[in-house]
Amino acid sequence: MKTYLRPTAFVDAPFGLDGKVARLAGGMLWFSAVEWIRVDAGSRVSAELVAVEHVAARLRDAPETRGAWDRLTSPRPPLTLGERVVRLDQPQVVGIVNVTPDSFSDGAKSADADSASEAGGRQAASGAAIVDVGGESTRPGAKPVWEGDEIGRIEPVIARLARGGAAVSIDTRKAAVMRAALAAGVGMVNDVSALSFDAEAAKVVAEAGCPVALMHHQGTPETMQKEPAYGDVLIEVFDWLEARIAAAEAAGIARERIVVDPGIGFGKTLQHNLLLLNGLSLLHGLGCAIMVGASRKRMIGALSNEASVNERLGGSVALALKAAEQGVQLHRVHDVAETVQALKVWRGLRDMALTPGA
């Protein structure tokens, strides 16, 4: 039997509610209850709402849940990417730059180094805390790219962005590409395979001492959307990420440098994606920062009259705000300026709510 705690019943401000609310992961949200979920053999056997004021008593009766509670309420230390520090006590935007001829979102618009560098520079200027550069498409049905070609695509882009002062991450599954990117000025690794594709990847990240994002997936890009199946997608994604965190720690990667990503659209149906997005706050129980990349995903088209990729801005912003409302710290998006603006307005609302006497 395993117990999971999902923060819920969020309140505008903690004032006058001492002992009745808890702060989520050191961020800008307070919650007044947790969904206390008990799972046996992969199936939920019970779920109840427990008020925060009663959690201490529950922890005395079930001390094995103490670790989960502590991970929910412990602040997330900032990420250090070279000389840049990214705070995790507020939502941050991660811009996407695909240096590929077959990106699902923008085709070949950033396929050459000049246009990709310019796109990344615009994202940084528009408020992206991190610019995530990738040289291999991982859209459904995409074929693998030889690591030499991938390095050739991303190396000059990363070098230019790093020289310009941007905090840059590399979106890759391959150790050789990680090494080349780190040498070019990257400060973070974003691996859609969660360091499971290349046996050398974890070693590269551990030796670099850089942050790493571990993303959940089911299958490979070539096969992941061929009838994905789960019993309880939220619990299974949590357990899978928990196992990958343990593997990363065993390889010498500190938990405070690990970011988790539920992998929206990576081996999930529309229903799976919606269930994950509704239950995102559960993932804070992993004790890591959370990154969500739902920007321009197929699910938005499915919910809005089959809107094309370039007509999914409204849905993308809506999903970013949904994630922010559950304490997600990193929002990986294509439309940086618009998402930054939306989160600034969200932040303004939170700041006013958290201003005593306002």
Last residue of a domain, one of 52, 73, 94: 73
Domain extent at residue 40: 2-73
Whether residues 124 and 196 fall in one domain: yes
Closest CA to 34 of 67, 72, 75, 74: 72
* Residue 283 maps to a domain: yes
Q: Are residues 115 and 56 in the same domain?
A: no
Does residue 57 contact residue 63 with C-beta atoms inside 8 Å? no
pLDDT in the model for residue 214: 98
Do 223 and 121 lie in one domain? The reply is: yes
147 is a domain residue: yes
Q: Tens of pLDDT along 185-211?
A: 999 999 999 999 999 999 999 999 999
In a domain, 357, yes or no: no
Q: Is 312 in the same domain as 246?
A: yes
Q: What pLDDT does 108 receive?
A: 46
In a domain, 124, yes or no: yes
Task: Identify the pLDDT of residue 223.
Answer: 65
> Using CA atoms, how far apart are residues 102 and 270, in angstroms rounded to an integer?
23
Residues 110 and 40 in one domain: no
- Number of structural domains in the chain: 2
**What residues have CB less than 8 Å from 199, skipping those under 6 apart?**
175
Query: Do residue 205 and residue 133 come from a single domain?
Result: yes
Same domain, 147 and 104: yes
Do 320 and 223 share a domain, yes or no?
Answer: yes
Task: Let me know whether 31 and 118 are in one domain.
Answer: no
Residue 71, token pair as written in the block = 């991970």
Q: Looking at the annotation, which residues are catalytic? A: 297, 332
CA distances from 155 to 135, 145, 177 (A): 9, 15, 9
What six digits make up the tokens of 123?
């994202």
Both 9 and 122 in one domain: the answer is no
| CATH label of the domain that carries residue 338 | 3.20.20.20
C-alpha to C-alpha distance for 257 and 262, rounded to whole angstroms: 17
Question: Is 358 within the bounds of a domain?
Answer: no
Assess if residue 153 is contained within a domain: yes
Are β-strands 130-134 and 168-171 bridged in parallel, bridged antiparallel, or unpaired?
parallel
Q: Using an 8 Å Cβ cutoff, are 216 and 240 in contact?
A: yes
Closest CA to 7 of 28, 36, 45: 36
Residues 153 and 199 in one domain: yes
Instruction: Choose one of 28, 52, 73: the last residue of a domain.
Output: 73
Domain boundary among 49, 73, 97: 73
Q: Which residues in the chain show pLDDT less than 70?
A: 102-111, 220, 222-224, 358
d(CA 19, CA 151): 53
Question: Which pLDDT belongs to residue 140?
Answer: 72
Phi, psi of 332 (to 5 degrees): -90, 115
| Residue 113 within a domain | yes
Question: Which strand (E) or helix (H) includes residue 5?
Answer: strand 2-11
Residue 164 and residue 27 share a domain: no
In a domain, residue 85? The reply is: yes
Amino acid at 267: G
pLDDT at 322: 98
Amino acid found at 22: A
